[in-house]
Structure formats: structure tokens, C-alpha cells
Chains A and B, each alone.
Chain A
């Protein structure tokens, strides 16, 4: 409990530093906000073009497809917002020896790396995801009840950890190879499959995104329960299990990686 309190405190302080840092360069911050809205606008336009041409997808109505799309963006956005620093581990921090700093501080290194930075751009995904879910829900004729809504909210932290877990494992590769940014990228891109119902893909792809790089668990399977009430044990249980396994593996590989860390000359 004391440990959690301390982690919360440190996290809050890092966040405050990040906001102060952004405010330090006001011009850049304002331009960033403007370009952020432009990007979101073009994304919206793009989605509208896609969905206006897809009336129905293998038994999923257009609103259900929008729901799945939106649901996939929320945890992805949360992960992107809080835990974006893992990309820097893969691309720069290890290679340049800047990881030294984390090892000389009395804070868990993974926690330090994860909580040190935030990525404002991620709010785009988050807002878009919430908007799409909210827009699609009233138009879907599912048997809504409290349990389904609660299930959706309950699942979001776990699904977020699926993203974070995959990124942690792939970022840790850098401890051995010095640079793993593109490894993170390759695996992360599989999450694009999660935007659409997994049933539209071939059997092979379905198996890969369910059991190997399980991004189908981030929206399609939970949606099967939330929208159609199907098999809660598998559709909710699997994502939770995957989150625990991936994050656990991530923590394990990370700490093994630290032993192989070679720093950089100075």
C-alpha cells in the first residue's frame, strides 16, 4: 500500500513536470494543438469515407463495426498517452547509454520509464475512440444491461496492458540488440487488425491475432460479448489472461535485459 502510494506520488510529479515542460515552449504547444485538431479532422473524414461505403461486414452492421473500431482506439490511446516512452527505449535510450540514469535512481526502472513521459497526441485516439463508441451504441440493437457496460469499462485497463505488454517485450530487445524500435513497430502494427471484426480475416490471420500477437483480444472478442452476449468466459477471460501474461512476460524480459545492458562509452 505504501509502495502504491509512493508510485502514485512519483507518477503525479512526473506528469506535472511534463505539463510544465510543454508550457515552457508555448508557441510550439499552440501549433501542436492546432495540428492535432487538423489531424483528427482528416481522420474523421477518412473514417466517414470508409464507413459510408461499408454497409455491412460479414454479419456485422455498420454501427457494430464502428463500435469495434472505437473500442479498439480507447485502450490503444491510453497506452499511447501514458506509456509512449517505450518507443524511446527502443530507438534511443539504450543505444545512447541514457538508460544509466534510471539504474542509479531508487525507483523501479520500468515504472520510471513508463511514468516519466506523456504523449499528448494520444488524446486524438482517445477522444475519437470514445466518440465512436458513444455514437454507435444508441444505433445498435443489443440487449444493453448494466453488466455489459460494466464489463466494457472493466476490460479497458486490461486491454491497455496488452498494448503495453507487447511494447515492453519488444522494447526490451534493445538491451541485447541496442536498438529495437522497428521490432516494436512491427508488432505494434498488428494492432491495426484490431480495428475491424476478426471474422473478416482468413483463418491463419485470425489465429495469429488471437493467440500469438493477440490484438483481436483488444476489441473484437470483448465486443462479441458486449454486443452479442456470447461466451463471456472466453471473450472476457482471454483478454484478461493475455494482459496478465504479456505484461508479466514484459516485466520478466525487461529485468533480464537490464543484466545484459552495456551502457555506452563516456
Chain B
């Protein structure tokens, strides 16, 4: 369905010295440097698949999505979606895709939500009867009825996001691009949106590409993820593979009354761990230790710690996605 072949995007950036003087200088003698936002990324997505696209801020996720949706022209490389080139066949191509940028909206801000769908119906040339059916379906999945008559400016973020997703699905696209669709939403709304995406994917075989910072989005929705950092692909595979390899990292943090707790705790010696499997940092009374729970069970870690020092507060956390990516990148995994 989707083939990205060595996609690359370079931007020219003007380098300015700080201050007004620097600004004036750059007005007359602009210095530019080339910034490579995306470096030769290739991947494929099958029809009906939900692909999770993750990476830290500034990794180039949005740039890739914008190239796939025809917003940006790649510097080199190419992408083909359903046999079409997004830039060359733009008008016929965009009829087959839906796009949601979580940070923006395509709704008519000042008018009741219903008006937006009326206009999009014309823009995408949706016939009257399929429009009615479609709206009924989207209503059911995304529960728009409560606020479809309210002006868009009065919608809450969660309502607006549902409305935006509905807007992107009105013309029954074959591919749906979601750029951070759950950003800033509460747990309940996040869950609703995930279920809606899942429902649409399973019912209509819609191919979905999803970027997010929330690992739960990925866990619930997609079997496969592509991870990028600094413009390069660092992981491409199933969630299970990722978890088996990198998802076993746990972070144990605690407050302690014992002086020099960090020195007292000799995890590496006791459990015979390498630097890859454990890192320890302490600052005053709080101590943080990251370790590979496949090498040492969490319970062993806890009992050893509690036996060595006095602890007043304790928490265990899954490694968050940024942490996994950081480790992947440091280890130089090649996709």
C-alpha cells in the first residue's frame, strides 16, 4: 500500500548571530547551513495495517508524514501510496487519504461543526446518500451528536479531535495519517479515540499511519512500529520484538535516609550486571536506577535494595518511549 524509498528532506537554515546586530548582519550577508531532517528512510506498509511511527521530538516524524501526504516535496527518494506519487498526482491522491494533525485543525473555526462537514462533502464530492450513511456511521463511532451543532471554537480539545478525525474520514479514505491524535487528551478520551481508530481499521481495512509519544496508543493499536531518531530509522519491527529486546527496562526510584546510599548499593557487583543492563544515579536523598528486568527480576532488585538501605518512598516505572529510543540510538541499532 505504502512504499517509502530512501526518503530524504533537507532544509536550508539561516544561521544568525545573537541579538539585533546579528539579525541586521544576516540581512545583508545571510549565512545558511543545510539541515537534514530526514535521512534516506525506507519502509513499507501493507494494506489494512496500522503502523506506529515513533521517535523523540525533532526526530523527523512530522517531516516524513508531510512527505507522505504530499505537503512537502522530498529532496531525494520517493514514496508511492496506492500506486500514486503524492506530489505529482496530488489532487487525485489526496482524495484517497485522510490527514489529521493533532496540533492543527481543518474545521471552520467560527461556524457550527455541521457546516464543516457540509463543505468537505462538496470538496471531496461525496454523493448525498453516501454522505448521510457516512455521517451516521461517524456519529456512532466518534459520538459527534452532542456537539455537532456547536461552533467549533467552543469545543473541548477532545471533542475537537474527534471532530477532526471524522472530517478526515468523511470521504472514506484508503489511508489515514494521524499525527499525534491523542496529544493533550485525558485518559478516557484517548481511549475513545483509540477504539474509534481500531473500529474503522477493522471494519474498512483502512491503512493507518500513526505518530505518537504515548506508548499506550501503539500498544493498543499497532502490531508494528517504525522508530526514527535524528532523521534515521533505528527500529522497524513488531511490538513484541521491541519489547523482547528493549522493553524490559524498568526504572526504580526511591527516597532514602541512608547517607551515601549510592555507594552502599553495589548492584553491578551483586547481580553481576554489565553497563548495558544497569545505570545508577543519585542526588541527595533520591536515587534512580534503570535496569534490565530480563536480567534481574524486579522483586530481586527490590529486596536487595530494601535490605541494604532504609527507604521512605519507592516507585517502579516502565521505561518510557524516549528512554527506549535513546538506548536504541546509543547502541547504534540499524534498521
Contacts and interface: CB of A to CB of B under 8 A. Distances in A.
A205 B318 CA distance: 72
Interface in A99-145: 100-101, 103-108
Nearest to B96: A106
B110 A261 contact: no
A60 interface: no
A17 B123 contact: no
A259 interface: yes
Interface stretch (B70-78, B193-201, B237-245, B300-308): B70-78
A10 B99 CA distance: 21
A25 B72 contact: no
Nearest to B66: A263
Contacts of B108: 17, 21
Given A24-B110, A100-B104, A106 B124 contact: yes
B115 interface: yes
Given A103-B71, A266-B179, A10 B151 contact: no
Contacts of A17: 108, 111, 115, 119
Contact-residue size bin, chain B (C-beta under 8 Å from the other chain): 20 to 34
A266 B99 CA distance: 14
Contacts of A266: 62, 101, 103-104, 179-180
A176 to B, nearest CB: 10
Contact of A9 (B94, B118, B122): B122
Given A9-B122, A17-B119, A103-B90, A262 B106 contact: no
A127 B182 CA distance: 50
B204 to A, nearest CB: 19
B21 interface: no
B71 A106 contact: no
B69 interface: yes
Nearest to B62: A266
Nearest to A101: B106
Given A21-B108, A21-B111, A263 B94 contact: no
Given A261-B72, A266-B62, A100 B90 contact: no
A20 interface: yes
Given A20-B115, A105-B94, A107-B123, A265 B62 contact: yes
B220 interface: no
Given A100-B104, A104-B69, A104-B94, A21 B110 contact: yes
A231 interface: no
Contacts of A10: 122-123
Interface string A247-266: 00000000000111111011
27 contacts: A10-B123, A13-B119, A17-B108, A17-B119, A24-B110, A25-B110, A100-B66, A100-B71, A100-B104, A103-B71, A103-B90, A104-B69, A104-B94, A104-B97, A105-B123, A106-B92, A106-B94, A106-B95, A106-B124, A108-B91, A258-B73, A261-B71, A261-B73, A262-B11, A265-B58, A265-B62, A266-B180
Interface of B: 11, 58, 62, 66, 69-73, 87, 90-92, 94-95, 97, 99, 101, 103-104, 106, 108, 110-111, 115, 118-119, 122-125, 151, 179-180
